[in-house]
Amino acid sequence: MDGAKNPEMNDRIEITAPAAALLRELKKRHGPLLFHQGGGCCDGSVPLCLKQSEFRVGSKDVLLGFVEDTPFYLGSGQPEQVARQGLVLDIADGDTDRFSVEAAEGVYFVSRPRWGSSCPGPVNSCGLRGFSAATTDSTK
């Protein structure tokens, strides 16, 4: 079901201001993107941000929702708890050995559960190369 037709689906994912700014810039450069989180259910899970044309969504992957009009899929091994709680999408400094489109920026996308986080405090929300710093209230 299309997230634009199902507003509840869009409520499952929050995005911090720095992550939203980075995602908008990446979409300008690379065209339509998608997120896929294939593993990890806890603080610090690292979803891939990929060109839609270069990734085939699996038949057991689940569309969690949309962030900045970009679909966010969970791999088939993701617990239902992630879908119920929702996620906060942020960015963190660092290089990764991944194929994600943001890797060239020296940052990576990171997610954490929106409620009931196992680690207190927000994920690192750094001011990065022109992206304004902001944090998301983890008590929502």
- CATH number of the domain to which 45 belongs: 2.60.300
42 within a domain of the structure (yes/no): yes
Query: Is there a domain that residue 119 lies in?
Result: no
Q: Is 32 part of a structural domain of the chain?
A: yes
Q: How far apart are the first and last CA of the chain?
A: 26
In a domain, 126, yes or no: no
In a domain, 65, yes or no: yes
Between residues 62 and 83, the one the model is more confident about? 62
Classify residue 132: in a domain, yes or no: no
State the total domains in the chain. 1
**Structure confidence by residue, pLDDT tens digits, 119-136:** 333 333 322 233 333 333
- Residue span of the structural domain in which 38 resides: 7-113
Q: Is residue 139 assigned to a domain?
A: no
pLDDT tens by residue, 5-56: 344 555 788 999 999 999 999 999 999 999 998 865 555 688 999 999 999 9
Report if residue 1 sits inside a domain: no
